[in-house]
Amino acid sequence: MITVIDPEAARRALATRNLACPEPGCTGRLRVWSKARPRPVRGRDGRVQVIRPDRGRCRACSVTQVLLPAFCLPRCGYRVEVVGAVLLAAADGAGYARAGAACAVPTSTVRDWIRAVRRSAPALIAHTSWLPPSAPDPAQAWPTPSPRLPGLTAALHALGTAARGLASWLTRPDPPAHATVTGIDYLALIARQHRHEVLRRLRLAAPSSGAGHATPWELVTILTAGRLLTGVPG
């Protein structure tokens, strides 16, 4: 799976074979493959949008990749903003029923989401440590949950802080490429390689398009590589 912020831009990049394969160690490029199955995604207003994500297949390793928009989570029928609203309500002390009521999410689903995040809270917090450092921005306020659920609260704080840093990092221009590898050019090359490695690890495509418009919870999808509810990779 690859996360895309702007599906149209990612589709164009896929069509022109400008999407790199995200598999570790693979240097292949993706080519257009058959679309993924349709999937309904419910928003906070209850409306259901049926999307059919693009897919690409690597010519080198033959692995297929679903290009999933950042507002989606794999195997989840709700937009990530719905999941986020429920998690924040629970961290603020709401029970399962009340946390899900505002977004019309069944109690059993709310329970599963909260248990999943609480269970993986240490891994989520650890996962944020390798991301680009946060640049504090008072304009991007992140709700502060109460400390009634320490694991959940700590995970949301870590994700919120990392999301702010990621937003700042994604909107920076790519470090310039240089023909020579000397002095400051070498530093630029290292910065460029580091940026590409971070993007590969995030499994993020076409980051320069739409990055500035990603919502906080879409950023959380990106920084967890879509695994907010299923456990982040080690």
Position 23 contacts Zn ion (CB under 5 A): yes
For residue 206, the 8-state DSSP code is: S
Position 58 contacts Zn ion (CB under 5 A): yes
**Minimal distance in Å, beta carbon 210 to Zn ion?**
24
Task: Point out which span in 27-35, 71-79, 93-101, 121-129 binds Zn ion (CB under 5 A).
Answer: 27-35
Binding-site residue total for Zn ion (CB under 5 A)? 7
Q: Can you list the alpha helix ranges (DSSP code H) found in 16-147?
A: 80-91, 96-101, 107-119, 121-127
The distance in angstroms from the start CA to the end CA of the chain is: 16
Which residues, 6+ apart, have CB-to-CB distance to 186 below 8 Å?
none
As a whole number of angstroms, the distance between CA 223 and CA 234 comes to: 13
**Minimal distance in Å, beta carbon 14 to Zn ion?**
14
* Phi, psi (deg, nearest 5) at residue 54: -70, 160
Is 118 in contact with 153 (CB distance < 8 Å)? Answer: no
Please compute, for residue 144, the number of CA atoms within 13 A of its CA located in the half-sphere on the CB side: 1
Q: Which of 15, 48, 61, 135 binds Zn ion (CB under 5 A)?
A: 61
Is the CB of 30 or the CB of 223 nearer to Zn ion?
Answer: 30
Is the CB of 2 or the CB of 159 nearer to Zn ion?
Answer: 2
Position 28 contacts Zn ion (CB under 5 A): yes
Q: How far is CA 101 from the centre of its chain?
A: 25
Which residues, 6+ apart, have CB-to-CB distance to 174 below 8 Å?
192, 195, 208
Task: Point out which span in 25-33, 46-54, 69-77, 86-94 binds Zn ion (CB under 5 A).
Answer: 25-33
Task: Point out which span in 37-45, 58-66, 114-122, 203-211 binds Zn ion (CB under 5 A).
Answer: 58-66
Count of other CB atoms within 10 angstroms of residue 214: 23
**Minimal distance in Å, beta carbon 21 to Zn ion?**
3
Draw the binding track, 139-158, toward Zn ion (x: CB under 5 A; -: no contact). --------------------
Position 20 contacts Zn ion (CB under 5 A): no
Q: Is the dihedral of CA 90, 93, 95, 97 positive or negative?
A: negative
Q: Which of 13, 14, 19, 21 binds Zn ion (CB under 5 A)?
A: 21
Position 60 contacts Zn ion (CB under 5 A): yes
Q: Which of 1, 9, 12, 26 binds Zn ion (CB under 5 A)?
A: 26
Residues engaged in binding Zn ion (CB under 5 A): 21, 23, 26, 28, 58, 60-61
